[in-house]
Amino acid sequence: MKLYGYYLSSAAFRVRIALNLKGLAHEDAPVHLLRGGGEQFVPEFAALNPQNLVPVLLDAGRPLTQSLAIIEYLDETHPQPPLLPTAPEARARVRGLALAVACDIHPLNNLRVLRYLKRDLEIGDDERDGWYRHWIALGLAAIEQLLDGDEATGTFCHGEAPTLADICLVPQIFNAKRYDCDLEPYPTVMRVFDACMTLDAFAAARPESQPDAPD
Amino acid sequence: MKLYGYYLSSAAFRVRIALNLKGLAHEDAPVHLLRGGGEQFVPEFAALNPQNLVPVLLDAGRPLTQSLAIIEYLDETHPQPPLLPTAPEARARVRGLALAVACDIHPLNNLRVLRYLKRDLEIGDDERDGWYRHWIALGLAAIEQLLDGDEATGTFCHGEAPTLADICLVPQIFNAKRYDCDLEPYPTVMRVFDACMTLDAFAAARPESQPDAPD
């Protein structure tokens, strides 16, 4: 398998964690999102993904896009260890937590959006950072409530093994730390984050450990 | 089943379509997102969903949040007719198309974001509408490319029956029309949209047909 990603992309980070949890080797194909106007816009990459977004996974067939679709694919083609629980209601809980990050925090804070705020709406850096922190704080406050006091929450977001929910949560916390967000209001979130980071699958997927990360 | 929604919410619209395709009756529990500061913020609703977002589906157990998680739950608990194809690669394609709407267009244009642009960043109405149309145009252009010329595309986004991809695409086109977006550049998208709208399951789910829509 070949993974087109970028060390700082939290969507690519998700896929790296999933591959690691499954014990699947992959070749890295770094796409530098900032260099030369952005390598995601070169025709070779746009042919793989007209959305000009990472990650893209090449397995046997067509290029696979969208981190959550890729991870569900990996879970279906390599079922062990499972990244979703078995019961439909539990699966809905895990997917709901994952989507609370993937739909309601991350899309508001990715590179193209921050660029639009700065270039097209001429928002200053302080206001842009305030925007970034606003959506993280709103999202994490809700996730804290969804985790805290729900008996389905265990060492991880759902029970005693990492799931798709943890895979989405951890890269979001890395982003939050990069923007100096106050994480003290989210003790359950941070307890889960710390538990995840003791696992090699998560630790090895971190941005600074990727081949395209600066020295 | 009880669906907390709002007639103009495209995430609730998705769940309405899925329920209709499955032939599942449901009770509507309208949550007026604009009235009195927003009914999504009243404690009774926040207890169902600390994200203060619709839709929420009440079935047997815990409240289910996030439209895509809800729809996957419905597909797992009521498999006929299926909303995803069988092969993992095909499922990844359908989920990828759905997420291209649900992660990369819709979250940028929902009510709370438009409010933040106006109230906190003091963006004018024209710039706000430009923002709205920008993310729709960018997203639909990519989806047009993903659909056009891919032999997996049929009458619908994937083959000859509606899937999760169509369920996400149709409400997004309703939003695009509401903001007078130019849809001519997306002939394949619009052909699929028109095919969907011939089906009762889609037509009955449209905003203006909901009990909470204004006369």
Would you say the ipTM is above 0.90? yes
Cis peptide before B85 (omega within 30 of 0): no
Least CB-CB distance to B76: which of A88, A113, A121?
A88
- A103: closest chain B residue by CA: B103
The CATH number given to whatever domain includes residue A7 is 3.40.30.10
Same domain, A97 and A193: yes
- The alpha carbon of residue A146 is apart from the nearest alpha carbon of chain B, in Å, by 7
Please state the domain count of chain B.
2
Domain that holds residue B94: 88-202
Contact residues for A29 (Cβ-Cβ < 8 A; gap 6+): A2, A3, A4, A5
Burial classification of residue B79, based on how many CB atoms lie within 10 Å of its CB (0-12 exposed, 13-18 middle, 19 or more buried): exposed
- Residue B210 inside a domain? The answer is no
Inter-chain CB proximity A66 and B131 less than 8 Å: no
Backbone φ and ψ for A38, nearest 5 degrees, come out as 105, 115
Inter-chain CB proximity A130 and B145 less than 8 Å: no
Same domain, B112 and B193: yes
Same domain, B179 and B104: yes
If phi > 0 it is left, if psi is from -120 to 50 it is alpha, else beta; for residue B49 that is: beta
> Which domain-ending residue is among A81, A108, A137?
A81
- Residue A209 inside a domain? The answer is no
Same domain, A119 and A34: no
- Residue B215 inside a domain? The answer is no
- A92: closest chain B residue by CA: B69
Inter-chain CB proximity A120 and B102 less than 8 Å: no
Same domain, A99 and A191: yes
What residues in A contact B141, CB-CB < 8 Å? Answer: 50
Token pair of A148 as six digits = 């805290």
Residue whose entry in the numeric block shows the structure tokens 């069988």: B86
| Spatial contact of B196 and B203, defined as CB atoms under 8 Å apart | no
pLDDT band for B9, please (50, 70, 90 cuts).
very high
Ranges of residues in chain A with a pLDDT under 70 are none
Substitution target in B99, B150, B157, B163 with the highest count of A β-carbons within 10 Å is B99
- Residue A129 inside a domain? The answer is yes
What's the mean pLDDT when you consider all of chain B?
Answer: 96
| Spatial contact of B53 and B40, defined as CB atoms under 8 Å apart | yes
Same domain, A45 and A108: no
- Residue A55 inside a domain? The answer is yes
- B72: closest chain A residue by CA: A92
- Residue A211 inside a domain? The answer is no
Among B29-38, B59-68, B69-78, which stretch is predicted with the lowest mean pLDDT? B29-38
pTM for the full predicted model? 0.97
Q: In what order do the strands lie in the sheet with B56-58?
A: B27-30, B2-5, B56-58, B64-65
Same domain, B163 and B97: yes
The CATH number given to whatever domain includes residue A140 is 1.20.1050.10
Same domain, A49 and A126: no
- Residue B209 inside a domain? The answer is no
| pLDDT in the model for residue A49 | 94
- Residue-wise pLDDT for A77-121, tens only, equals 999 999 999 999 999 999 999 999 999 999 999 999 999 999 999
- Residue B207 inside a domain? The answer is no
Cα separation of B99 and A168, whole Å? 14
Inter-chain CB proximity A89 and B73 less than 8 Å: yes
Contact residues for B183 (Cβ-Cβ < 8 A; gap 6+): B140, B173, B176, B177, B189, B190
Average pLDDT over residues B186-205: 98
> Which domain-ending residue is among B32, B66, B81?
B81
Inter-chain CB proximity A146 and B107 less than 8 Å: no
- The alpha carbon of residue B112 is apart from the nearest alpha carbon of chain A, in Å, by 10
> Which domain-ending residue is among A64, A81, A98?
A81
Cα separation of A136 and B15, whole Å? 26
Same domain, B187 and B127: yes
| Spatial contact of B83 and B18, defined as CB atoms under 8 Å apart | yes
Same domain, A94 and A198: yes
- What 3-state class would DSSP assign to B27? strand
Residue whose entry in the numeric block shows the structure tokens 């994937």: B158
Other beta carbons less than 10 A from residue A182's beta carbon: 11
Same domain, B74 and B94: no
Same domain, B135 and B162: yes
Least CB-CB distance to A100: which of B66, B73, B91?
B66
